[in-house]
Structure 1
């Protein structure tokens, strides 16, 4: 009996110890650690709620003070500068570097095999017309061939005249029943053979004359002689030794990055500025848009025609702005007025409430940016006054006063 009581006491003690351990573990484990991010978010929301409540209390208290002391109405207001918002044209451009090029640039070449230069009739900078002779090649051998062809023609002509006379006589005799028919036919055949020789001799003269003419090197276009890299006595073969440029037919060319392939098309506006010509600006349109992407530069080629201007030259550098986006009645703001918080992008506007000027947040949806102007697609309306200076430390509902009343 004593043994059983002893065993029961041990069992009770064991159960008691185990229960204590379970309670202790539950007490320790029940207080689980919270996620630091969750705690910080909760603390932020709490502070925002307190800030809102505090701002309301400050506003109410300030209103009460203003009623008792009107001179203090603007004492605590933040000094700001505002700008009215109004719709207007907004244009976005792609700024690139291009150059002026000529539609017609001719590297003069000989019409024959080339030859040694006997005379040069132009110099760099001369204005020339289409068909004008620029230089003369040695033509001594070709003139000898021409002289020989002319002499051959003279001999054949004499023989042809004689054959025609004989044929005429034979015909007259045959009509008088003198002679034979075969004599008439032989005279006619001889005359026709000589006529063929005469025609061939004339063709040879034309060919020889044309060969002589090829020694006169002419310009195929009208323009300005841009380069003369050949002298008398040197061999001329047309390897870019004389170049003529037509400055009256110019174009601007530019390579556009391929990421703008859907925004730059035929008809896009080009604003061309020439830094070396007193920043002269020319407006034109894209009239050629390449269909091939350069595998090295990852760009495509566009060009636009340039009007005639004596001060513009081929290969001149140009700053090119390509208009790829335009809105005629857009709302725009200075880009530095845009702010961001945890809820997104916003700006501050000055709003009159109960006879007081108050700063209010306006969440906005932004569009394109060009220069310092930012397009606002949603969130602002024409007629509102955006705070452009002094907005950095403002909060929603804070009283403001104008630096530019």
Structure 2
């Protein structure tokens, strides 16, 4: 019984303690609400008193301090949007020299890497000893065939022999002559000529090696007088990039910039890169090299007279996009909010389609925290 009584007393004490703690918390909350209410009343009373004092003595309330800002007068100017890509320089004419026949063993080489060559210039001589021997044999056979034909003709004139024998003899002469023509053509094929004019960019063949015209073991001629820049354009620009679009090509390695126009716009979308091919002609320049990296900027939009602003001056609120402009009201410079409609963005310049006009004064710096109607000033 003593243990039960003791447990009951402990529970009663705990319950009383919890109730006391809860009562204390409620008191603190009530006290906080009273303080907040008093503070609100004091704030309202302060505002009312300031209003009454201002009505009796305008100079009694301190004047608002203007916010220091930077301004820029807006004017119209051309605005362009570009697609920035990476491309390369390519040659219109790159020729991998090939033999006109099946090729053969190299007998002589008449060009070295870096040499300027002209179309039709002799570059290689292939081994021709076997063909020359065949020509000698064919000529002997031709003489023999001609001799037999003449003898058969003399007999025919004397009414000796048959017409078939005469025709056969003449046919043997014709065959021997055709064989010599074929062998002479094969002999000419041992001379390898340049198909285009240009520079021997690579001569990767030696005397004694077999020449077949394969790119890995042959001669490459590059004509640098007809160069072009090529690039791949993402397919989402397909309706904005056309033949005739302006292109600004920058070659960073040699610090040169060229303006040209697109001459070819591919009709096929690459299924892997989801892009299409474009090319533009480049002027002749000895410093340009095929496969040289090029920064390609394609002009896909332009406006002759546009209002543009720095991108960082654009702000957003629940009503949409806006900027702050400076206006003079009652002799005082104030900030005013202007809701704007934006167009294209390129680099840090944003085109404004509506909401601003030439002559407006844009707040370009110090606009953070400035509200509509706030007094502003500029650094003199």
Q: Tell me which interval the TM-score lies in, with the shorter structure as reference length.
A: 0.7 to 0.9
Which of residues 83, 89, 102 in structure 1 aligns to 2:78?
A: 89
1:366 and 2:346 matched: no
1:243 — aligned with what?
220
Q: Out of 151-160 and 254-263, give the one that drifted further.
A: 151-160
1:211 — aligned with what?
186
* SS of residue matched to 1:246: strand
- Contact 1:163 / 1:187 at 8 angstroms: preserved in 2? no
1:266 — aligned with what?
243
1:357 and 2:333 matched: yes
After TM superposition, give the deviation of residue 392 of structure 1 in Å.
1.3
Which structure shows the bigger proportion of residues in strand conformation? 2
1:324 and 2:313 matched: no
* SS of residue matched to 1:367: strand
Number of residues of Structure 1 aligned to a counterpart in Structure 2: 327
1:151 and 2:128 matched: no
**In 2, distance between residues paired with 1:251 and 1:165?**
70
* SS of residue matched to 1:122: coil
After TM superposition, give the deviation of residue 196 of structure 1 in Å.
4.1
**In 1, distance between residues paired with 2:169 and 2:246?**
70
**In 2, distance between residues paired with 1:195 and 1:357?**
113
2:258 — aligned with what?
282
**In 1, distance between residues paired with 2:170 and 2:226?**
51
1:123 — aligned with what?
112
TM-score by length of 2: 0.78
2:38 — aligned with what?
none
After TM superposition, give the deviation of residue 159 of structure 1 in Å.
4.6
1:336 and 2:312 matched: yes
**In 1, distance between residues paired with 2:165 and 2:206?**
53
Relative to structure 1, the CA distance from residue 143 to residue 360 in structure 2 (aligned partners, 3 Å threshold; closer, same or farther) is same
1:291 and 2:267 matched: yes
TM-score by length of 1: 0.74
1:253 and 2:233 matched: no
Which of residues 214, 227, 237 in structure 1 aligns to 2:202?
A: 227
After TM superposition, give the deviation of residue 100 of structure 1 in Å.
0.5
Q: Out of 379-388 and 199-208, give the one that drifted further.
A: 199-208
**In 1, distance between residues paired with 2:379 and 2:84?**
36
For the aligned residue pairs, the C-alpha RMSD in angstroms reads 2.8
- Contact 1:166 / 1:187 at 8 angstroms: preserved in 2? no
Deviations 1:122-142 (A, max 9, x none): 111111111212111111111
1:304 — aligned with what?
280
2:323 — aligned with what?
347
After TM superposition, give the deviation of residue 403 of structure 1 in Å.
2.4
After TM superposition, give the deviation of residue 98 of structure 1 in Å.
0.3
After TM superposition, give the deviation of residue 158 of structure 1 in Å.
4.2
**In 2, distance between residues paired with 1:165 and 1:126?**
60
**In 2, distance between residues paired with 1:124 and 1:309?**
20
**In 2, distance between residues paired with 1:395 and 1:136?**
86
2:124 — aligned with what?
135
**Counterparts in 2 of 1:194-205, with a 5 A limit?**
194-205=169-180
1:43 — aligned with what?
none
Q: Which runs of 5+ in 1 are unaligned?
A: 1-49, 171-178
1:379 and 2:355 matched: yes
* SS of residue matched to 1:267: coil
After TM superposition, give the deviation of residue 209 of structure 1 in Å.
0.7
